[in-house]
Chain A
Amino acid sequence: MDHSEATREVLWNIGNVWLMYLMFAVSAGVAAYGLYIRIARWRRGREAVRFDRPAERLRLLLRHAAAQGRTVRERQAAIFHTFIYTGFIILTIATTVVLIEHDFGIPVMRGAFYLYFQSFIVDVFGALVLVGVLIAAVRRLFVKPKKLVYTDEALWILTAIFAIAVTGFLIEGWRIAATRDPWGSWSPLGYMVAQISSSVMSEGAMRTAHLIGWWTHAALVFGFIAWAPYTKMAHVVFGPLNIYTASLEPIGAALRPIDFEKAEVLGVKALSGFTWKDLADFDACTECGRCTSVCPANTVGKTLSPRDLILDLRALLHRAPIKRNANGADGGASEDVFDLPIVGVVESASPESLWACTTCAACVEACPVFIEQMPKIVDLRRYLVMEEADFPDTMQEAVTSLESRGHPFRGATASRVDWADGLNVKTINEARDAEVLLWVGCGGALIERNQKVVRATAQLLEKAGVRFAILGREEKCTGDPARRIGNEFLFEMLAKENAERLNNYGVKKIVTSCPHCFNTFRNEYPQFGGSYEVYHHSEYLARLVDEGRIRPVTADERSITFHDPCYLGRHNGVFDAPRKLVQIASRRGVVEMEQSRATSFCCGGGGGMSFIEEPKDKRVNQERARQILATGADLVAVGCPFCLTMLEDGVNARRGERDVRVMDVAEILWQSMNSENTEQTKDYGTNGKKPGD
């Protein structure tokens, strides 16, 4: 047979074709309206600039929408979603080919293209859709992972897709059999249906079945198109859109400043406080639950669930009218849902949940459609803190201490310079020509255990011949805890004050051993007049090692794992520098934990949470300690004062299981410089207590 003649008759056996066009028009109209009302509601949100830098956005779209960058991270989802997703694309292309052939009269459905693509490939991908739907159904009905949301809607979606695919194969088979299509075997599944049907059905029966089947298939397809925008299937449109309009900044730069002169409400009280992009986030959600499954607070059994927060806010959004309700102002039944206070109305936005977030942003990192859950939690906290002054007592103490003392540790007994006793460390006032400012941080200066880290760092810098200085008693908290707790006002005051001081001293380069300070300087101070070259001490020390200015002479024999601090790794993408330090200072290198690098699990200390006493059976640091113990490592290296104290507490609580030490990378490096440098590393493990404990 000559392949070049291969084709099939479009709309064989079908009369009253106008009805199909009518169905299509109605279905497209209903679908368009569904998309319109969602978008119209977003337009009630505040401004956000998310269509700039198109080239970067397009790259993001290709990587994460087209190539499913994050979706495929999970094995089950990678399989079933890829099957359904690619099937949809291929079948849509195939339908478009039919449209071009039939409605535009351009003969494309011919020859090899017809056989290879339109028949064979389309059949294979159609089969993959069926397999994908079955895997998804088995997962939903039998495997039942905890992170999913079990709705009837989800099951109906699977049923609809399954029915569409099955009817498609049936009518293909009946057409092949009834027309004795010479090219039928190029469509393997359809051909199989044809073979079976022709052995049990007469040609007339097959024609009738085809006619009924075809209209059923059409009704299902058009019905599905009409219905989809009203369901989570809207992610087919809103997912890619959300990825295109995602934040292009590092996660560490996700929090927005507030214009205190203009803001009517501080923080987000109601939906009206969100930007259009926040509202679009709600509609993009596919209910996959990955955010909640990686949330440290949720993992240890706290009520916080980023997934539920997004879904509850979406449900609230869908209750809102698409235009401001004119009668809303005077209250009553007609009150605009857009103005309802979220905390108190939305169950998943309870204070208990909001005050469990460590702002680790594992949720943000996990989301396949780039929803930004964490900044919304901080927005809600801002309202509670600044408008209601309603937040946990121990956090209030930290904030009050920040206000009056410039550090969050109430009752700290050390001064800002005690850590440098016996070292030749100068203040910037004494050493104006210093090339680097060593930013000590409140944790480094005031918590006994962390002082040793700063000491090691300073000694390493000195050994490498770096001309550095400190601010000494003039140093004040960068404001990170204030900002994460939600006191943006206090943060702004501290940021402006610090930036002014640093600018007055002409500081250009900052090195700090605190990732929170690091993130704040790097991503947040530029908005408050402070632009500096900022390094985490691990980055700077790694550079000194590269330049040969630091040469380790001994190697640690122990098995070492590294815990990525959220604000260094996930928030700022620094993963390799601290590992490199461990690598060169130890004999065995880094044993990785299951959750490491971008998917690292928080120590539990971020977001102001180190100022909260967690319930004994729900402690994030103990869960992380469990993961550390599971590696079999003797030592866990860290790069953050909060991680250091949290993890020390965590491994100490699990002491009975195995003895694990916690050390900062700078301490490990300093120890490797000289076998006698053990002054730094003797006998800790029990003194990780914070002042005020």
Chain B
Amino acid sequence: MNIIVCLKQILDPLIPVRDFRIDPELRAAVQGSASLVTNIFCENALETALQLRERAGGKITVLAFGAPSAEDSLRKALAMKADDAVLVVNDGNVHPDPMAVARVLAAAIRKIGAFDLVMLGRESGDWGAGQTGGLLAEELGVASVSFVDAIEVADGESHLKLHLKRQTDTGWERVAAPTPLVVTVTNDEHNVPRIPKTRDVMMSYRQPLAKWTLDELGIDAAAVRAGGDYYRVVDLSIPVRETKCELVSGDSLEDKVSDLAARILQVTRAM
């Protein structure tokens, strides 16, 4: 089975709140002292893929579209034992919209060649749009299943078919789907990303890693560099948290309790 896992490198979402800054001009987060990490849901996707390969065999190619630094995410994936890695270097707008990203990924996947399964994280920890997976399936012209947390290969089928477990608002759904297929993966206790062995981390720096430019993909590179035309961020701000302290008044305990109840009612009605 040929599996392609798309990885996105993002700013560490666990930086201290006080270190988080926004550039009002660019309408984007400022890196500051934050490190760059692989988006956690993408790592869940990779872990799910690695487990699937352990059971069903096949090959895993990891693919990223991003700044040259995204090579670190791909190297880590190689250390976790992905087979091949491809980086499409983004030399344009650093925050392209999901449609532009989906077009780049689709073009890169076509260039990689035949695939059975494309896996992505359900959303990224920076913008959280959660759209790339679905849009990518559209671009590739295949079906997609979202919020998947487990995948099994169906036995005894002449055509490769997958059984997928997907999380819903109310529980789980089990669905079957033929390949080729795009799935977005969510986290589950079974797909916590493995810690690579140090030996493999060392080896990952010696493995080949393909670097492609936007111009090599046969798409409208200029539109991608401009950041896409699908949507744009109009405003971006850090929510301000306000805390207000009021003292309950009253002479007796009964008075205090009724005052408290009145205040709670007041607040909840206002909400």
Residue positions of A touching B, CB distance < 8 A: 260, 266, 385-389, 391, 396, 399-401, 404-406, 410-416, 418, 473-474, 487-490
In-complex Cβ contact of A415 among B16, B197, B198 (8 A): B16
Q: Which residues of B contact A405 (CB under 8 A)?
A: 12, 14-15, 35
In this assembly, does B201 line the interface, its C-beta being within 8 Å of a C-beta of chain A? Answer: yes
Q: Which residues of A contact B19 (CB under 8 A)?
A: 415, 473
Q: Apart from A410-B14, A488-B198, A489-B201, list 11 A-B contacts with CB within 8 A.
A: A266-B199, A386-B199, A387-B198, A387-B199, A391-B195, A401-B14, A405-B15, A414-B18, A415-B33, A473-B33, A489-B202
**Contacts A404-B35, A404-B37, A473-B33 hold; do A389 and B12 have CB atoms under 8 A apart?**
no
Residue positions of B touching A, CB distance < 8 A: 12, 14-19, 32-33, 35, 37, 194-199, 201-202
Whether the Cβ atoms of A389 and B195 lie closer than 8 Å is yes
Q: Which residues of A contact B33 (CB under 8 A)?
A: 415-416, 473-474
Whether the Cβ atoms of B198 and A386 lie closer than 8 Å is yes
Residue of B with least CB distance to A400: B195
Whether the Cβ atoms of B198 and A399 lie closer than 8 Å is no
Residue of A with least CB distance to B35: A404
Whether the Cβ atoms of A389 and B18 lie closer than 8 Å is no
- Smallest Cβ distance from A259 to chain B, in angstroms? 12
Whether the Cβ atoms of B18 and A418 lie closer than 8 Å is yes
Whether the Cβ atoms of B16 and A487 lie closer than 8 Å is no
- Smallest Cβ distance from A414 to chain B, in angstroms? 6
Residue of B with least CB distance to A410: B14
In-complex Cβ contact of B202 among A260, A389, A404, A418 (8 A): A260
Whether the Cβ atoms of B195 and A489 lie closer than 8 Å is no
Whether the Cβ atoms of B12 and A489 lie closer than 8 Å is no
- Smallest Cβ distance from B20 to chain A, in angstroms? 10
**Contacts A404-B37, A406-B35 hold; do A388 and B14 have CB atoms under 8 A apart?**
no
How far apart sit A236 and B139, CA to CA, in the bound complex (Å)? 79
Whether the Cβ atoms of A413 and B198 lie closer than 8 Å is no
Residue of B with least CB distance to A493: B201
**Contacts A404-B35, A405-B35 hold; do A411 and B198 have CB atoms under 8 A apart?**
no
In the complex, 25 of the A-B residue pairs with CB atoms within 8 angstroms, ordered by the A residue number, are A386-B198, A386-B199, A387-B197, A387-B199, A388-B197, A389-B196, A389-B197, A389-B198, A400-B195, A401-B14, A404-B12, A405-B12, A405-B14, A405-B15, A405-B35, A410-B14, A414-B16, A414-B18, A415-B18, A415-B33, A473-B19, A473-B33, A474-B33, A487-B198, A488-B198
In-complex Cβ contact of B194 among A260, A389, A412, A474 (8 A): A389
**Contacts A404-B37, A473-B33 hold; do A413 and B16 have CB atoms under 8 A apart?**
yes
How far apart sit A399 and B197, CA to CA, in the bound complex (Å)? 12
How far apart sit A281 and B15, CA to CA, in the bound complex (Å)? 46
Q: Which residues of B contact A387 (CB under 8 A)?
A: 197-199
How far apart sit A413 and B16, CA to CA, in the bound complex (Å)? 5
In this complex, the member of A266, A404, A406, A490 whose beta carbon has the largest number of chain B beta carbons within 10 angstroms is A404
Q: Which residues of A contact B201 (CB under 8 A)?
A: 489
Q: Which residues of A contact B197 (CB under 8 A)?
A: 386-389
Q: Which residues of B contact A401 (CB under 8 A)?
A: 14
Whether the Cβ atoms of B35 and A413 lie closer than 8 Å is no
Residue of A with least CB distance to B37: A404
How far apart sit A418 and B194, CA to CA, in the bound complex (Å)? 33
Q: Which residues of A contact B15 (CB under 8 A)?
A: 405
Q: Which residues of B contact A412 (CB under 8 A)?
A: 16
Q: Which residues of B contact A487 (CB under 8 A)?
A: 198
Return the 9 tightest CB-CB contacts between A and B, nearest first.
A386-B198, A473-B33, A415-B16, A489-B198, A389-B195, A415-B19, A389-B197, A404-B37, A396-B195
In this complex, the member of B18, B33, B196, B202 whose beta carbon has the largest number of chain A beta carbons within 10 angstroms is B33
Q: Which residues of B contact A413 (CB under 8 A)?
A: 16-17
Q: Which residues of B contact A399 (CB under 8 A)?
A: 195
Q: Which residues of A contact B18 (CB under 8 A)?
A: 414-415, 418
How far apart sit A399 and B198, CA to CA, in the bound complex (Å)? 12
- Smallest Cβ distance from B122 to chain A, in angstroms? 21
In this complex, the member of B17, B196, B198 whose beta carbon has the largest number of chain A beta carbons within 10 angstroms is B198
- Smallest Cβ distance from B152 to chain A, in angstroms? 25
- Smallest Cβ distance from A435 to chain B, in angstroms? 26
Q: Which residues of A contact B199 (CB under 8 A)?
A: 266, 386-387
Q: Which residues of B contact A418 (CB under 8 A)?
A: 16, 18
Q: Which residues of B contact A489 (CB under 8 A)?
A: 198, 201-202
How far apart sit A405 and B34, CA to CA, in the bound complex (Å)? 7
How far apart sit A418 and B17, CA to CA, in the bound complex (Å)? 11
- Smallest Cβ distance from A690 to chain B, in angstroms? 15
Residue of A with least CB distance to B16: A415
- Smallest Cβ distance from A573 to chain B, in angstroms? 33
Q: Which residues of B contact A414 (CB under 8 A)?
A: 16, 18
Residue of B with least CB distance to A399: B195
